[in-house]
Amino acid sequence: VSDASGCSMIALLHTGAAKFPPNLLSRSRQAVSPLFPAGVLEGFFSIVSRKLASHGFGASMAAMSSFPPQRYHYFLVLDFEATCDKPQIHPQEIIEFPILKLNGRTMEIESTFHMYVQPVVHPQLTPFCTELTGIIQGMVDGQPSLQQVLERVDEWMAKEGLLDPSVKSIFVTCGDWDLKVMLPGQCQYLGLPVADYFKQWINLKKAYSFAMGSWPKNGLLDMNKGLNLQHIGRPHSGIDDCKNIANIMKTLAHRGFIFKQTSKPF
């Protein structure tokens, strides 16, 4: 596989990363290590590792090397479901409020906040809404109001240590609608304040487009397809959508992507 200069091995690894078995990577390192300075070789194998990960060897590569550190200690994955119909009803009201606390170092889920919310302006869910979200009337009847749920979110944030100024966390949504339109719009309608931690977020669609070079027109479905991931649960279930967002983030992080805030400061 290698001539006296080691160049054939280098060419094989560089051009055939998708076909090169990850379990041979360490053997290749040993074969060419006497021929190159350590720093050069480590840089080269780092590139090969990323190439392998981009061709579906993410899990194998994760076991072999850690991914770059993120800018945040925690990512708070959020995906609202709201009252809806065709034509659209106004105002829309949040009826499912899920948050997953994702560790920025391991990209694993550490804690979950999940509540259903009683709509007050249009308390009766439409058939369209139930068909789209899977949320039936009995799941929202008698549930806390949005104001009460927001109070419980704040309690959960405090319990999880997320209100500590030394802890860096940021919300992550699939699009800008949840925190740019839905929450501030309903809070304004009800005369409720919007906590500062809801005013900065990462739009996963933008992050994915930066990482992969294409815009996911169909949201989570396109992102899962682009990363060869299985879709988790039911589309338009808030908690299931959060799990898909977390899975996509974990996959991108293992490929070396660093997540950054995409929203403009309020």
3 state SS for the chain? CCCCCCHHHHHHHHHCCCCCCHHHHHHHHHHHHHHCCHHHHHHHHHHHHHHHHHHHHHHHHHHHCCCCCCCCCEEEEECCEECCCCCCCCCCCEEEEEEEEEECCCCCEEEEEEEECCCCCCCCCCHHHHHHHCCCHHHHCCCCCHHHHHHHHHHHHHHCCCCCCCCCEEEEECCCHHHHHHHHHHHHHHCCCCCHHHCCEEEHHHHHHHHHCCCCCCCHHHHHHHCCCCCCCCCCCHHHHHHHHHHHHHHHHHCCCCCCCCCCCC
In a domain, 153, yes or no: yes
Cα–Cα distance, 9 to 57 (Å, whole number): 20
* Residue 114: per-residue pLDDT: 98
User: Residue 88 belongs to a domain with what CATH number?
Assistant: 3.30.420.10
Give pLDDT, residue 216. Answer: 98
14 within domain boundaries: no
How many domains does the structure of the chain reveal? 1
Residue 1 lies in a domain: no
**CA pseudo-torsion sign 87, 184, 172, 75:** negative
Confidence (pLDDT) at 8: 38
Position 66 in a domain = no
Structural domain of 237 = 74-255
Q: Is 83 exposed, middle or buried (0-12, 13-18, 19+ CB in 10 A)?
A: buried
Residue 42 lies in a domain: no
Catalytic residue among 96, 160, 236, 254: 236
Q: Is residue 250 part of a domain?
A: yes
In a domain, 108, yes or no: yes
Predicted pLDDT of residue 17: 39
Residue ranges in the chain whose pLDDT is less than 70: 1-65, 266
Q: pLDDT of 28-79, one tens digit each?
A: 444 444 444 444 444 444 454 455 444 444 444 443 347 889 999 999 999 9
Which residue of the set 81, 93, 96, 160 is catalytic? 81
Whether residue 160 lies in the annotated active site: no
Distance CA 14, CA 19 (A): 11
Reference 214, options 173, 223, 249; nearest CA is: 223
Q: What is the pLDDT of residue 227?
A: 98
Q: Which pLDDT value is given to residue 7?
A: 36
> What is the reported pLDDT for 266?
56
Please give the torsion angle defined by the CA atoms of residues 88, 151, 147 and 183, in that order, rounded to the nearest 10 degrees: -30
Q: Has 254 been annotated as catalytic?
A: no
In a domain, 31, yes or no: no
pLDDT of 66 reads: 72
